[in-house]
Amino acid sequence: MASRDDFEICIICALPLEANAALSLFEDSKGGDSLGKAAGDTNAYSVGKIGDHDVVLVYMPGMGKVPAAAVAVNLKQSFKNIKLALLVGICGGVPGKTAEGVMLGDIIVGKQIVHYDFGREYENGFVMKGAPEDALGRQGPEIRGFIRKLESGQEALSGKLSDYLAAMIRPWSPEKTSNLKDILYPSDYWHVHQNQSACEEGRCANGRDLCEKALKASCEDLGCDPTESERPPELTRRPTPKIFFGPVASGDKVMRSASLRDKIARREEVIAFDMEAAGVWDYLPSILIKGVCDYSDSHKNKDWQEYAAFAAAAFTKAILEQWTSSKSKSDKEAETAKPRGGVQFNNNNSKVMNQAQTMTFNGNNTFSF
């Protein structure tokens, strides 16, 4: 059985639905208690194998940068040889108006993380810190090289993603996936009572405000018109997720503003929004793998979350087939076959052991001579 020091790959998930999708990849899953953990480590783990790799799944206690950073620090205490940390789950995308742009269910691979809510608040608004020393660092050469490898093999990865996702969602719920609709509303089309007389507070009438009920209501309840979609009718969803590589904005806010989304996307050239990557990025050799579940606008809902989580998990399986561990399969098999703890002692010079010798036999008892 592998020890904690044998694990080079971890998957970090913030939400239960993300962890459930990731856990479905494990061919041999055990609770983290089977390997124990370092004193003071408050993380919760599951361990198992995905293909030839020993992988540890880390369950975050909540969303956001602070829990993510704490999880990363604790992980390094118990699993000291992590070389690839995958942040797997769901995110908000920056949409495109054509088939070439980001759509719901697509895969985002974060090459760089932009800490977009780190800055100063002035009388006239927020200013993000942009000095080099304030930016999150770039990943090391091994991670950067691996991402280049993935980018160069996108066509093959797309095929694997499609196959694995189909196998994963078939027992999950085909009717759910067939009913998913992808509607992209214009940035100035707010999620408010479209029939102004239906707004009891009257706040939805001016077009620049929305009432408390609108914050929690669905598009159907508010009368949001699907024909207002910026995409042609034939682009209501993509049959197979598309893979996008690029910078991702990360912060503690749930992005639900199309105008702010577009402003940040133009300024920082990001393709998605996430809430955990900024907390992990400087502590672990990381790659963000997220499925797009909404457009980071006021029409945000949970309809696509499960599909997006499974898509991210399926892509994770595909890329792990491309990752080369520092130990080959034959090395691991040789170590597994090697007897542990037994010691053979031969003294050819004397019938009596040196009195200074202390030996441990079979890892259980220590004898002094």
pLDDT higher at 233 or 213:
213
Query: Where is average pLDDT lowest: 166-175, 236-245, 250-259, 302-311?
Result: 166-175
With CA atoms as reference, report the closest residue to 160 among 311, 9, 324, 323: 311
**Of 54, 42, 43, nearest to 10 (Cα)?**
54
* % of residues, the chain, pLDDT over 70: 83
Question: Element (H or E) spanning 126, and its range?
Answer: strand 125-128
User: In this predicted structure, what is the pLDDT of residue 100?
Assistant: 87
Which domain, by its residues, includes 37?
4-183+237-329
Residue with tokens 């904690």: 4
Q: Residue 339's pLDDT is what?
A: 52
Question: Average pLDDT in the 278-293 region?
Answer: 96
Q: How confident is the model at residue 334 (pLDDT cuts 50, 70, 90)?
A: low
pLDDT of residue 210: 82
Residue 274 resides in a domain: yes
- Give pLDDT tens digits for 185-204: 999 998 988 888 888 788 88
- Tally of domains within the chain: 1
**Is 270:75 a contact under the CB 8 Å cutoff?**
no
- What digits encode the pLDDT tens for the residues 58-93? 999 999 999 999 999 999 999 999 999 999 999 999
Residue found by looking up tokens 């100035």 in the block: 188
- Residue 107 resides in a domain: yes
354 has a pLDDT exceeding 80? no
The C-alpha atoms of residue 20 and residue 46 are separated, in whole angstroms, by 11
Residue 172 is predicted with a pLDDT of 57
According to the model, what pLDDT value does residue 355 have? 39
More confident residue, 242 or 352: 242
Q: Is the pLDDT of residue 6 over 70?
A: yes
Q: What is the mean pLDDT of residues 37-42?
A: 95
Beta carbons within 8 Å of 5's beta carbon, 6+ residues apart: 79, 80, 81
Q: Is residue 334 part of a domain?
A: no
Specify whether the CB–CB gap between 113 and 248 falls below 8 A. yes
The Cβ of residue 131 has, within 10 Å, a number of other Cβ atoms equal to: 6
Q: And the tokens for 117?
A: 């809510």
In a domain, 348, yes or no: no
Residue 91 falls inside a structural domain: yes
Closest CA to 241 of 320, 324, 149, 168: 168
C-alpha span between 219 and 295 (Å, rounded): 14
Residue with more model confidence, 128 or 158: 158
Residue 164 CB partners (closer than 8 Å, separation 6+): 314, 315, 317, 318
Where do we find the tokens 């920056």?
94
* pLDDT for 198: 87
DSSP 8-class letter at 323: P
pTM, entire model: 0.85
Report the alpha-carbon distance of residue 298 to residue 258 in Å, rounded: 7
Is position 68 within any domain?
A: yes
Which of 99, 103, 111 has the alpha carbon at shortest distance from 249? 111
Tokens 């856990």, located at residue = 23
Mean pLDDT across the chain = 85
Label residue 174 exposed, middle or buried (CB < 10 Å: 0-12, 13-18, 19+): exposed
139-158 core/surface letters (b: 16 or more CB in 10 A; e: else)? beeebeebbeebeeeeeebb
Averaged pLDDT, 104-122: 90
The conformational region for residue 337 under phi > 0 = left, psi -120 to 50 = alpha, else beta, is: alpha
230-256 pLDDT tens trace:
888 777 778 889 999 999 999 998 999
The Cα angle at residue 291 between residues 232 and 167, in degrees rounded to 5: 95
The CATH number that applies at residue 77 is 3.40.50.1580
Positive or negative, the CA dihedral 25, 290, 108, 42 is negative
162 within some domain: yes
Confidence tier at 179 by pLDDT (50, 70, 90): confident
Lowest mean pLDDT among 153-162, 277-286, 321-330: 321-330
